[in-house]
């Protein structure tokens, strides 16, 4: 496993296991499987409702806590200093741990400045080893980063071959902030798994489309957290460190970029209203 160094010197696995949309009932089983095949970085969130499953799988694994890298995120309904502070304690309890390796703001809504202050405090007392944000577009990211004491270590955003976050990555680099990809397979949208360019490149390296897409992001220093509930695919997704894409192949994939979301836009009032009304 390759590690990436965050802006505070903390090392994080560049590839982990994401549990978005995995039910609480299935989460422990799936995370246990992921751990058994070699995953040590697990990404969850308060809004996913499955932090307990991650904590139980980690606790029962027999793997020392120090070998894990756990990411969770504070939801909008827990925004603001006091609520965020309380929710961090709740997440620690659910995850059965004394600290969170990477703590993120899930969405750029509500009193996220207050949330960030609570996260900075958690960082200072060792309850969070690194802090950052998620789904922050460049304007909100840069405004926040310019006005906080501890610069975000990570911004977790939609990143895949069709939306590569090239320009935002350049701006984030000014603060030492790493891009962390959610949806590295675009959830299969845009005929992702049958894309001829990715298939052709995969044949050259005896790799599948998913492995090529992950390798492309990894070579750009993008952190990836692919999700699957199939053990065979867990094994395939982690098997991306024995080959390297040529510059020619990288360039072919660069040309797939539309720089447009396949999922949602924070400029859509209906979407924002839905997020604000989602309580946990």
Given this model, what pLDDT does residue 273 score?
A: 95
Residue 223's DSSP bridge partners are: 180
Say what the pLDDT of residue 25 is.
86
Residue of 222, 79, 67, 109 lying closest to 160 (CA atoms): 222
- Residues of the chain with pLDDT > 70: what percent? 100
Which of 236, 181, 190, 248 shows the shortest CA–CA distance to 210? 236
For the domain 3-277, what is the CATH superfamily, name and number?
NADP-dependent oxidoreductase domain (3.20.20.100)
Reduced to 3 states (helix: H, G, I; strand: E, B; else coil), residue 3 is strand
113 is catalytic: no
- Amino acid 202: pLDDT: 98
Candidates 17, 48, 116, 123; catalytic one? 48
- Residue 107 confidence (pLDDT) above 90: yes
CB 215 within 8 A of CB 240: yes
- Paired strand residues for 102: 71
> pLDDT over 90 for what percent of the chain?
99
Residue 144 — very low, low, confident or very high, per pLDDT cuts 50/70/90?
A: very high
Per-residue pLDDT of 177-210, as tens digits, reads 999 999 999 999 999 999 999 999 999 999 999 9
Q: For residues 102 and 71, is the Cβ–Cβ distance under 8 A?
A: yes
Strands 69-74 and 102-105: parallel
Q: Annotated binding residue at 160? A: no
For 68, residues 6+ apart whose C-beta sits below 8 A from its C-beta are: 40, 41, 42, 58, 101
The per-residue pLDDT for range 114-130, each reduced to its tens digit, is: 999 999 999 999 999 99
Position 1 pLDDT exceeds 90: no
Task: Please give the pLDDT value at position 244.
Answer: 98
Task: Say if residue 144 is exposed, middle or buried (CB neighbours under 10 Å; 0-12, 13-18, 19+).
Answer: buried
pLDDT, position 41: 98
Q: What is the pLDDT of residues 53-66, one digit of tens each?
A: 999 999 999 999 99
Domain positions in the chain are 3-277
Contact (Cβ atoms closer than 8 angstroms) between residue 80 and residue 110? yes
**Cβ neighbours of residue 222 under 8 Å, at least 6 residues apart?**
159, 165, 169, 178, 179, 180, 181
Instruction: Please provide residue 142's backbone torsions phi and psi, each rounded to the nearest 5 degrees.
Output: -70, -35
**Rounded CA gap, 97 and 99, in Å?**
6
Single pTM value for the model = 0.96
To 10 degrees, what angle do helices 209-219 and 231-238 make? 40
CA–CA gap between residue 201 and residue 252 (Å, rounded): 9
Q: How confident is the model at residue 159 (pLDDT cuts 50, 70, 90)?
A: very high
Q: Determine which of 23-27, 126-130, 152-156, 157-161 has the lowest per-residue pLDDT on average.
A: 23-27
Neighbours of 189 (CB within 10 A): 12
């Amino acid at each position: 496993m390759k590690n990436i160094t965050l802006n505070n010197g903390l090392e994080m696995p560049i590839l982990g296991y994401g549990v978005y949309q995995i039910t609480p009932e299935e989460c422990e089983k799936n995370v246990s499987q992921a751990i058994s095949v070699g995953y040590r970085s697990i990404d969850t969130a308060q809004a996913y409702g499955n932090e307990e499953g991650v904590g139980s799988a980690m606790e029962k694994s027999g793997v020392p806590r120090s070998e894990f890298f756990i990411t969770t995120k504070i939801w909008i309904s827990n925004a603001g200093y006091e609520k965020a502070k309380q929710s961090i304690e709740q997440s620690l309890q659910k995850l059965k741990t004394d600290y969170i390796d990477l703590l993120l703001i899930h969405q750029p809504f509500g009193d996220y400045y207050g949330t960030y202050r609570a996260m900075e405090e958690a960082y200072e007392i060792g309850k969070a080893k690194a802090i950052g944000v998620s789904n922050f577009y460049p304007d909100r990211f840069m405004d926040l980063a310019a006005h906080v004491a501890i610069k975000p270590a990570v911004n977790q955003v939609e990143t895949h071959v069709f939306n590569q976050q090239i320009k935002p990555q350049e701006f984030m680099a000014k603060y030492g902030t790493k891009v962390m990809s959610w949806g590295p397979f675009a959830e299969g949208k845009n005929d992702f798994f049958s894309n001829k360019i990715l298939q052709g490149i995969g044949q050259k390296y005896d790799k599948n489309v998913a492995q090529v897409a992950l390798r492309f992001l990894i070579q750009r220093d993008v952190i990836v957290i692919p999700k699957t509930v199939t053990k065979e695919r867990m094994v395939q997704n982690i098997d991306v460190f024995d080959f390297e894409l040529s510059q020619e192949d990288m360039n072919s994939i660069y040309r797939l970029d539309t720089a447009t979301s396949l999922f949602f836009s924070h400029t859509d009032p209906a979407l924002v209203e839905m997020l604000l009304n989602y309580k946990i």
